[in-house]
């Protein structure tokens, strides 16, 4: 059995926030795979179903982000699950929009939902990091994550959620690579940047060749040559 946790804040006012993309992810999984209706349990909402051969529980904590660990710990204790059975879907500022990474363990990078869960069950759960991009200035982060996705982002957000739902059975089977491959088939393909041509290498300057030795020139005057011949007995 697996416990898939989506992180977000409760209330209609937060429903389309970037910080709630974790809720959106588990909602997409529930809709695509015919999970049972959501019901109130463990200070959150729970839905049960199957992904492939694996029974999966979907959980949306309703305690607000910074207390998410309360609901996760309660569900784990009831079903006798360990951190290795837990998968958390959350927004990730450090990834560009629509980029996704899967990671087990690590820190919380200031994410209050991850901080709370790690404080209750330790860090060794699987994280599905859903990129939302960074506003470029840390002073803008709070308003950015608590703001709604812009209208022009709707296309990639929808594609991302469809990809997450399509790849979910792979994730339930502990196949992170298969999950990412399935997800990639649903995201728009970005054109590859052409390889930057390497500048042509200029031929190395030829090493200066030594000038051929010039024949010794006789600069003596005719009188000096004659005198030298007499000195040499010639």
C-alpha pair distances (Å), 219 with each of 132, 215, 223, 226, 234: 89, 12, 11, 13, 19
Distance CA 16, CA 23 (A): 10
3-state secondary structure of 24: helix
Residues 6+ apart with CB under 8 A from 64: 9, 10
Among candidate residues 51, 83, 76, the one with its CA nearest the CA of residue 61 = 76
Distance CA 130, CA 97 (A): 8
The residue from 19, 33, 90, 111 that is catalytic is 19
Does the active-site annotation cover 120? no
State the pairing for strand pair 86-92/54-61. Answer: unpaired
Distance CA 80, CA 227 (A): 121
The arrangement of strands across the sheet holding 2-6 comes to 39-41, 44-51, 54-61, 2-6, 86-92, 126-131, 100-104
Would you name the residues annotated as active-site residues? 19
């Amino acid at each position: 059995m697996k416990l898939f946790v989506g992180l977000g804040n409760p209330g209609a006012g937060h429903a389309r926030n970037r910080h709630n993309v974790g809720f959106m992810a588990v909602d997409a999984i529930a809709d695509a795979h015919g999970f049972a209706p959501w019901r109130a349990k463990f200070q959150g909402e729970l839905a049960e179903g199957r992904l492939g051969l694996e029974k999966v529980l979907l959980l949306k904590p309703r305690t607000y982000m910074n207390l998410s660990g309360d609901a996760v710990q309660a569900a784990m204790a009831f079903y006798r699950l360990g951190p290795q059975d837990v998968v958390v879907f959350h927004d990730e500022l450090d990834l560009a929009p629509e980029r996704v990474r899967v990671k087990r363990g690590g820190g919380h990078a200031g994410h209050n939902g991850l901080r709370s869960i790690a404080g209750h069950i330790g860090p060794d759960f699987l994280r599905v990091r859903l990129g939302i991009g960074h506003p470029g200035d840390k002073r803008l982060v709070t308003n950015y994550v608590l703001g709604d996705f812009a209208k022009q982002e709707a296309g990639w957000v929808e594609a991302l959620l469809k990809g997450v739902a399509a790849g979910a059975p792979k994730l339930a089977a502990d196949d992170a690579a298969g999950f990412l491959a399935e997800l990639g088939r649903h995201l728009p393909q970005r054109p590859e940047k052409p390889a930057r041509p390497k500048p042509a290498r200029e031929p190395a300057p030829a090493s200066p060749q030594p000038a051929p030795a010039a024949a010794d020139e006789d600069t003596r005057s005719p009188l000096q040559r004659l005198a030298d011949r007499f000195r040499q007995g010639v």
